[in-house]
Structure 1
Amino acid sequence: MSDLLPAELFQKLIEVRRDLHRNPEPSWQEFRTAEKVCQFLDEHRISYRDGIAGTGILAEIPGANTERFIAIRGDMDALPVHEETGLEFASRIEGMMHACGHDGHTTMVLGAAALLRAAELPVSVRFIFQPAEETGLGAKKMIEENALDGVSMIFGGHVDRHYHAGSIAISDGPVNASSDQFKISIFGGGGHAARPHEAVDPVVVGSLLVMALQTIVSREVDPAHPSVVTVGDFHAGTAPNVLASCAVLRGTIRAQDAAVRKHLKASIRRIAESVARLHNTEIDVELCEGTPPVINSDEMIQLARQAAISVVGENNTVKMRAANMGGEDFGFYLQKVPGCYVRFGSVVPGKEGYPAHSSRFDFDEKALAVGATYFAEIARIAAEQIHNTSSQP
């Protein structure tokens, strides 16, 4: 697949990706990463504005219509993970790693910009280099700082170990689930462990609550709509002979459907209130709204499929086997404008078992060529679509 790009450009993209991988930066602190992005854009004489949402960058290639844009998005942040890949270009930053492929995504978008630099398109193209995807807040902040002004369509993608290198996987509908969080505090007052009748034991109440919450998905949600309610943190007590004064449960809520998402949150509150009455105690529920689901629109799916087939062929253009229950803040963009989010096959033979966010995560660098070429092609196809639609009487 490296033959999709001029050899010199492909080699440059590998160098950029490996440099970013060696020097990962956490969310909102992608300063060196932003410098490298700007350096590449300067070398290719592509105009840009930096300092957007802190470390974000908006680069633009003007078309005949300079007021309408196709947007291509790449995320830049890394994760607080200690790398164990053994790669010669492994992270030099202790406890920090590009364990989700954002080094690849940023590089792909740079490659697309290089390919389109001299293109004559009917509308303009904007390249969004976004910070803090891992916090779920980066896209929202970029939107607040006008990243979508004039944008008619937006496209993005993610490397994926579930598909072979050289393939592009496209979902007909949901791609990622919404991602919300909850915190449930149970107040028992505390007491002596030998006299449990003198106080409410929040550990017992919390244990009942953990089990009750598991019935929401199994008994209240249509099995055709994937969803998750997980308690990931249960903290209570300070000593074995003391009844805890408080227990705190924290967890995540995932859904691919807006109505299901709303139902899950309402059910958590209902069950917590019922358990509080059952045990005659006080329970406080905090719900923190996170990223919305990523759902591709029908028309954008067709454009993406056309671009993918043009780049990798029909046999390598596949349907996603199942939507990912992980969160992705690209959903905030899709709440504003239509678009499509795809997956770039990138499994490394022998590393199939290392998922994203693993300390051993890596991806096949052939995906850099596929992603860059796909993003350039979808920009061309979408630009023509906008032009043809706007020119119709």
Structure 2
Amino acid sequence: MSERLLPPALDEVRAHEDEMVALRRQIHANPELGFEEHATSELVAERLSRWGWEVHRGLGGTGVVGTLKVGDSARRIGLRADMDALPMTETADRPWASKVFGKMHACGHDGHTAMLLSAARHLAATRRFDGTVHAVFQPAEEGLAGARKMLEDGFLERFPCDAIFGMHNAPGLPEGQFMAVPGFAMASADTCIIRITGQGGHGGLPQNTVDPIVAGSAIVMALQSIVARNVPPLQTGIVSVGAFLAGDAPNVIPGTAELRLTVRAMQPEVRDLLERRITELAQAQAASFGAQAEVSYQRRYPVLRNSPEHTRFCLELVRDWLGDSGLVEQAEPVTASEDFAFFLEKIPGCFMNIGNGVGSVGGCSVHNTRYDFNDRVLSTGASYWVKLVERWLAP
């Protein structure tokens, strides 16, 4: 550990920090992709059972839910951590670096799992609350909608919650500092594939073809008008063309072309607008060149909306614990996406960020091959979970 002052944490949680850091690094060294988290879920289930939690497995395939009931209160809350890794090759030289080529924990889900496990150990040992806690260890957050799968498998019917809370590490924020935005806090993330069909032919005889590249280029330019002229100026929409695929030879006009888009919005109504206008523009532009456009719009993750009431509760909790310095000033929404949004569509709650650090200690961006969760904030995050439970379910 660094000699710099550690971020605040409960002494009882800090007492088990070495064990929890070792556990986090074990998960980091053995990453598993979405819906393949077999060893990770086995480790989680074994620890929860050892500490006295009732353990349920199988929701979402590899999901784990631990339940701990104390007292007679009917109040119930959920705490969620994600477990999956990314299909990336780690390039940093650490003793606990990934042992699996092409897979690594590049988003800190190993740390999220360890923080919630650390809190679960403490809650089971102290039992200073009145009600039911569901510790939700979710698979497949990275693009595979594991939260939606758990809901489809009956999460709410089997583990009803009055509120649900999530947390994610945030490189670039001072370590151990917290941030949450009430209302729409993270963007929806959709994928759109536009397939343009023309008539191929010789590049020297363009008059005998219907060029899908020209039609596709016009579509790319027309798409830029949607945010500029259809989305209200005080709302947010993003339409980005990430790939334009067409042809192989310089003297051949291909018969087809394909555009691949990421589409994001901060309001559900803007999301609907973007889908409608992309389809209308693509088809109209293609038709103007004598081509056809087939639009496949894939809704992936919804807008993440934090309940203002629950967010205020969480921010006040942090302020009472750490003072104003424990919170990020003037927190703003971000256009990244997060499948915890599926839970928040069904249950009110709050998605919190905890600073992973800046510069050389914790500042490396997520989804980077040199990223690592900052172990210095593990006990701080676990203490936040404990304080949240003990205040929300206060006897």
Deviation at 1:85, TM superposition (A): 2.2
Matches within 5 A, 1:281-320: 281-319=291-329
Mapped contact 1:34–1:55 kept (Cα < 8 A): yes
Cα distance between partner residues in 2 of 1:66 and 1:31: 34
Partner residue of 2:339? 329
* 1:238 has 2:245 as partner: no
Equivalent residue letter for 2:205: R
Equivalent residue letter for 1:369: S
Mapped contact 2:172–2:358 kept (Cα < 8 A): no
Over residues 304-358 of structure 1, what are the superposed CA-to-partner deviations in whole Å (9 max), with x where a residue is unaligned? 1122224433311224632121110111111111000010011253267632111
Deviation at 1:2, TM superposition (A): 5.9
Cα distance between partner residues in 2 of 1:215 and 1:65: 58
Between 372-381 and 332-341, the greater mean CA deviation after superposition: 372-381
Over residues 162-210 of structure 1, what are the superposed CA-to-partner deviations in whole Å (9 max), with x where a residue is unaligned? 2100211111222210011101000012111111111111111111111
* 1:157 has 2:167 as partner: yes
Mapped contact 1:74–1:130 kept (Cα < 8 A): yes
* 1:363 has 2:370 as partner: no
Cα distance between partner residues in 1 of 2:322 and 2:30: 31
Give the alignment partner of residue 138 of structure 1, picking from 146, 165, 174: 146
Mapped contact 1:170–1:320 kept (Cα < 8 A): no
Between 38-47 and 297-306, the greater mean CA deviation after superposition: 38-47
Give the alignment partner of residue 254 of structure 1, picking from 264, 283, 286: 264
Matches within 5 A, 1:187-266: 187-266=197-276
Give the alignment partner of residue 90 of structure 2, picking from 83, 86, 102: 83
Deviation at 1:145, TM superposition (A): 2.0
Equivalent residue letter for 2:174: H
* 1:34 has 2:41 as partner: yes
Q: Specify the SS of the correspondent of 1:82.
A: coil
Partner residue of 1:16? 23
Equivalent residue letter for 2:141: E
Partner residue of 2:10? 4
Partner residue of 1:342? 352
Deviation at 1:102, TM superposition (A): 0.5
Cα distance between partner residues in 2 of 1:125 and 1:2: 24
Q: Specify the SS of the correspondent of 1:143.
A: helix
Partner residue of 2:196? 186
C-alpha RMSD of the superposition? 1.8
Over residues 125-181 of structure 1, what are the superposed CA-to-partner deviations in whole Å (9 max), with x where a residue is unaligned? 001100000024100111122223321000001000121002111112222100111
Cα distance between partner residues in 1 of 2:256 and 2:74: 56
Q: Taking structure 1 as reference, are residues 138 and 5 closer, same or farther at Cα in structure 2, changes over 3 Å only?
A: farther
Partner residue of 2:135? 127
Unpaired segments ≥5 residues, structure 1: 388-393
Deviation at 1:41, TM superposition (A): 1.3
Question: TM-score, normalised to structure 1's length?
Answer: 0.93
Between 154-163 and 224-233, the greater mean CA deviation after superposition: 224-233
Mapped contact 1:171–1:319 kept (Cα < 8 A): no
Equivalent residue letter for 1:4: L
Cα distance between partner residues in 2 of 1:92 and 1:332: 32
Q: Specify the SS of the correspondent of 1:151.
A: coil
Mapped contact 1:27–1:78 kept (Cα < 8 A): yes
Equivalent residue letter for 2:93: G
Q: Specify the SS of the correspondent of 1:366.
A: helix
Q: Taking structure 1 as reference, are residues 363 and 229 closer, same or farther at Cα in structure 2, changes over 3 Å only?
A: same
* 1:46 has 2:53 as partner: yes
Between 347-356 and 36-45, the greater mean CA deviation after superposition: 347-356
Partner residue of 1:173? 183
Partner residue of 1:278? 288
Mapped contact 1:67–1:150 kept (Cα < 8 A): no
Q: Specify the SS of the correspondent of 1:52.
A: coil
Partner residue of 1:391? none
Cα distance between partner residues in 1 of 2:145 and 2:41: 18
Matches within 5 A, 1:50-65: 50-65=57-72
Q: Specify the SS of the correspondent of 1:133.
A: coil
* Residue-pair matches, total: 385
Between 52-61 and 118-127, the greater mean CA deviation after superposition: 118-127
Equivalent residue letter for 2:272: K
Cα distance between partner residues in 2 of 1:27 and 1:199: 44
Question: TM-score, normalised to structure 2's length?
Answer: 0.93
Equivalent residue letter for 1:204: V
Cα distance between partner residues in 1 of 2:362 and 2:16: 28
Deviation at 1:237, TM superposition (A): 0.8
Partner residue of 1:103? 110
Deviation at 1:364, TM superposition (A): 2.1
